[in-house]
A and B are shown apart, each in its own frame.
Chain A
Amino acid sequence: MQLVLEKRAERSRTVALISPLIAIGLTIVTMTILFAVMGKNPILALYVYFIAPLADGYSLQEIAVKATPLVMIAIGLSLCYLANAWNIGAEGQFLMGAVAGSWIAVKTQGTEAGHWVLPAMLLLGAIAGALYALIPAICKVRFGASEILTSLMLVYVADLLLDYLVRGPWRDPQGFNFPTTAEFDPVATVPTLIEAGRLHLGSILALIVVAAGAVLLGKTIKGFEIRVVGAAPRAARFGGFNANQLILLTFAISGALSGLAGIIEVAGPVGHLQPGISPGYGFTAIIVAFLGRLNPVGILIAGLFLALTFIGGEQAQIAMKIPLDVTKVFQGVLLFYVLACDSLILYRFRIISSAPQVARGTH
């Protein structure tokens, strides 16, 4: 007896629809076991993680706030991954966008600058993110260097640049030597949607990005080219599509969205530039992109779900002393199951007997 993979004649539509749900189910089973092993009450832990944050208004807002960067970044990443371009440095592009946008906020601090400040910050953040993403893309297209490694290396560089700026030239003189800039002026801050609430304009922008992504992929020739280049590179070559140009394009879009997410995060929920502005949004967004099956609407749902795990993780730490690393384990396990379940869309298991097969006479 042996278990083997067998290619399905056609993609299974049923499995394609339910595979993310199976993955989430399996992840929850795994986490239940993990909680039990850690000596925590699994039922209570699951409740704190997944149900409690949905029960109060503050947490619901906080979920939307956390989902905003995740969804924005993941939409861009999905374009890259569909085109078979592996941008895994979104975290660095996020930080670069935050740094570049903050430059305007820092330079206009305390001046009579008008309402042009915030739009200019968002624009500069997006441009910086795009340019930073174009470095690995150009290295790939022009020199053939692996974009996986170069984009990842640039994350560390961006992190160190931010660290230098907030400890050096941009440090708040009144900040008791903490590595942070001064609080941004009101004109340099993303407005909130509810009086005294946390939900901000960025969440609306994220929804617009989702819609734009859906239109780009579903209704335009460029979107079609992106999908063909990734799914059938040979066919794309015969069709005369320029794969290199699409790598540059998808990296630039992805970098711009990551950069935009970065400056929105800094000018919105955080309110100033400091190290540790991202709890790994750029990496979690990779999971969001796959869990959403590289589909804009799917990514929106997946982004909200992973935001829930961030909030649930924080609450579980406070209420049950469950370490925050459990959230990362959870996210890693989830990605494993998502990928495994996706495999069952293309393949199915078959049990074969290991006894020597009788040779078939006919072909």
Chain B
Amino acid sequence: MELIEAIILSVLAASTPLLLAATGELVAERSGVLNLGVEGMMIVGAACGFGGAWLTGSIIVGALCGILAGVLMSLLFAAMALGLAVNQVATGLALTIFGIGLSGLIGAGFVGERITPAPHLYVPFITNIPLIGRILFGEDGFVYLSLALIAAVWWFLYRTRAGLIVRACGDNHVSAHALGYPVLRIRMYAVMFGGACAGLAGAYLPLAYTPFFIPGMTAGRGWIALALTVFASWRPGRLVIGAYLFGAVTILQLHAQGAGIGIPSQFMSSLPYLATVIVLVLLSRARTGGSTAPAALGTVFVPDR
């Protein structure tokens, strides 16, 4: 019973950065922008988030630093991909390469330092209920925030007029432009939201997951978040399922390693990456009839006037 509780708790923690980053990318992609720089925005968010928390001693300041760093990185992307109409794939790669270097520079000052990780919720009596108590009422704030955020995104995209306009930009930017919507500005806001989420997702790692910063600590989570948007067919509900499934794969392979079954640890560690490839293949295969991706995803738009 204790082990199951521990596993579920660690699955939730491992899934949260994936869910946060994928939520942001989902909105950006729904507006028609493919930002491959999630990994870069996350790792800079991790470095700045840890730096902020370490200097001030406040987890909230750390989280805000991570968000701000992610937004600044995404503005760099927006200036290139939207402002200068540069190929989005190449720009995203540049953002990741740049981000990995930049995070190393920022983080060099506090490698090896530790902070007190983000506190977990505690409701008297309720949190002490066996099994479900700690799982439902004993998480850190980021876990609840990530779920609230994806719910808000669902409501925004499907229940508000602004969300409809964002989706219109993603499906047909020429029509949206002809109707008088400022396509590039809307996309910039969507990309900034993506950056904020990726920055927060990165900051989650040193603020709550492991209370210290190591270079390259995102370890491909940004890329897995990108794969999750495909997995989810760009739908918020499926994104939650996908994020928790991937979190579960990550944690179960760790527990399998710990249990000492006779498989080399490197093979278990490669499972999340192999699972991503297999899932992408199976899903892409399942929808050979027609793609569910936003129709204008990744295409350059230069308004003619």
Q: Do A and B associate with each other?
A: yes
- Residue with the highest number of chain B CB atoms closer than 10 Å, among A135, A149, A331, A333: A149
Binds B, one of A46-54, A193-201, A340-348: A340-348
The yes or no answer to A290 lying at the interface (CB within 8 A) is yes
A323 in contact with B104 (CB, 8 Å): yes
B101 in contact with A139 (CB, 8 Å): no
Minimal Cβ-Cβ distance residue in A for B92 = A148
Going nearest first, the 9 A-B pairs with the smallest beta carbon separation are A332-B98, A328-B101, A325-B104, A329-B101, A164-B266, A335-B94, A160-B266, A145-B284, A145-B280
Residues of B within 8 A of A324 (CB): 104
A323 in contact with B281 (CB, 8 Å): no
Asked, given contacts A154-B277, A168-B264, whether A5 binds B85 with beta carbons under 8 Å apart, the answer is yes
Minimal Cβ-Cβ distance residue in A for B283 = A145
Interface size class of B (residues with CB under 8 A): 35 or more
Complex Cα distance, B103 from A336, in Å, reads 17
B97 in contact with A287 (CB, 8 Å): yes
B285 in contact with A144 (CB, 8 Å): yes
Residues of A within 8 A of B230 (CB): 146, 149
Q: How far is the CB of A25 from chain B (nearest CB, A)?
A: 17
Complex Cα distance, B270 from A164, in Å, reads 11
Q: How far is the CB of B239 from chain A (nearest CB, A)?
A: 16
Q: How far is the CB of A2 from chain B (nearest CB, A)?
A: 10
B87 in contact with A329 (CB, 8 Å): no
Residues of A within 8 A of B104 (CB): 323-325, 328
The yes or no answer to A11 lying at the interface (CB within 8 A) is no
Residues of A within 8 A of B215 (CB): 325
The yes or no answer to A215 lying at the interface (CB within 8 A) is no
Q: What are the interface flags for B255-280 relative to A under an 8 Å C-beta threshold, 1 for contact and 0 otherwise?
A: 00000000010110110011011001
A339 in contact with B284 (CB, 8 Å): no
Q: How far is the CB of B79 from chain A (nearest CB, A)?
A: 9
Complex Cα distance, B216 from A283, in Å, reads 15
A160 in contact with B101 (CB, 8 Å): no
Asked, given contacts A144-B284, A336-B76, whether A343 binds B108 with beta carbons under 8 Å apart, the answer is no
Out of B87, B102, B270, which one reaches A160, CB within 8 Å? Answer: B270
Q: What are the interface flags for A63-96 relative to B under an 8 Å C-beta threshold, 1 for contact and 0 otherwise?
A: 0000000000000000000000010100000000
Residues of B within 8 A of A5 (CB): 83-85, 302
Provide 19 A-B residue pairs closer than 8 Å at the C-beta atoms, listed in order of the A residue: A146-B227, A146-B284, A148-B89, A149-B223, A149-B276, A150-B276, A152-B223, A154-B277, A157-B270, A157-B274, A164-B266, A168-B264, A325-B103, A329-B102, A331-B97, A331-B101, A332-B94, A332-B100, A339-B80
Q: How far is the CB of A23 from chain B (nearest CB, A)?
A: 12
Residues of B within 8 A of A139 (CB): 277, 280-281, 284
Asked, given contacts A143-B285, A144-B288, A149-B227, whether A340 binds B274 with beta carbons under 8 Å apart, the answer is no
A149 in contact with B280 (CB, 8 Å): yes
The yes or no answer to A326 lying at the interface (CB within 8 A) is yes
Complex Cα distance, B76 from A335, in Å, reads 13
Asked, given contacts A146-B230, A163-B266, A287-B97, whether A153 binds B86 with beta carbons under 8 Å apart, the answer is no
The yes or no answer to B200 lying at the interface (CB within 8 A) is no
The yes or no answer to B93 lying at the interface (CB within 8 A) is yes
Complex Cα distance, B98 from A331, in Å, reads 7
Minimal Cβ-Cβ distance residue in A for B269 = A160
The yes or no answer to A58 lying at the interface (CB within 8 A) is no
Complex Cα distance, B80 from A343, in Å, reads 9
Q: What are the interface flags for B104-134 relative to A under an 8 Å C-beta threshold, 1 for contact and 0 otherwise?
A: 1100100000000000000000000000000
Q: How far is the CB of B264 from chain A (nearest CB, A)?
A: 5
Q: Given A139-B281, A325-B108, A332-B94, 19 other A-B contacts at CB below 8 A? A: A4-B305, A150-B277, A152-B220, A156-B273, A160-B267, A283-B97, A287-B97, A290-B90, A324-B104, A325-B101, A325-B215, A326-B101, A328-B98, A328-B101, A331-B101, A332-B97, A332-B99, A340-B80, A342-B86
Interface size class of A (residues with CB under 8 A): 35 or more
The yes or no answer to B226 lying at the interface (CB within 8 A) is yes
Complex Cα distance, B266 from A164, in Å, reads 6
Residues of A within 8 A of B31 (CB): none
Complex Cα distance, B285 from A140, in Å, reads 10
Residues of B within 8 A of A153 (CB): 220, 223, 227, 273-274, 276-277
Residues of B within 8 A of A332 (CB): 94-95, 97-102
Complex Cα distance, B91 from A164, in Å, reads 34
Complex Cα distance, B305 from A143, in Å, reads 39
A330 in contact with B101 (CB, 8 Å): yes
Complex Cα distance, B264 from A323, in Å, reads 34
Residues of A within 8 A of B269 (CB): 160
Minimal Cβ-Cβ distance residue in A for B302 = A5
The yes or no answer to A327 lying at the interface (CB within 8 A) is yes
Q: How far is the CB of B227 from chain A (nearest CB, A)?
A: 5
**Which residues in window 271-305 of B have CB below 8 A to A?**
273-274, 276-277, 280-281, 283-285, 288, 291, 302-305
Q: What are the interface flags for A341-360 relative to B under an 8 Å C-beta threshold, 1 for contact and 0 otherwise?
A: 01110110000100000000
Residues of B within 8 A of A207 (CB): none
Asked, given contacts A161-B266, A336-B80, whether A329 binds B288 with beta carbons under 8 Å apart, the answer is no
Residues of A within 8 A of B85 (CB): 5, 343, 346-347
The yes or no answer to B20 lying at the interface (CB within 8 A) is no
Asked, given contacts A5-B85, A156-B273, A328-B97, whether A145 binds B281 with beta carbons under 8 Å apart, the answer is yes
B101 in contact with A327 (CB, 8 Å): yes
**Which residues in window 230-271 of B have CB below 8 A to A?**
230, 264, 266-267, 269-270
The yes or no answer to A7 lying at the interface (CB within 8 A) is yes
A148 in contact with B270 (CB, 8 Å): no
Q: How far is the CB of B86 from chain A (nearest CB, A)?
A: 5
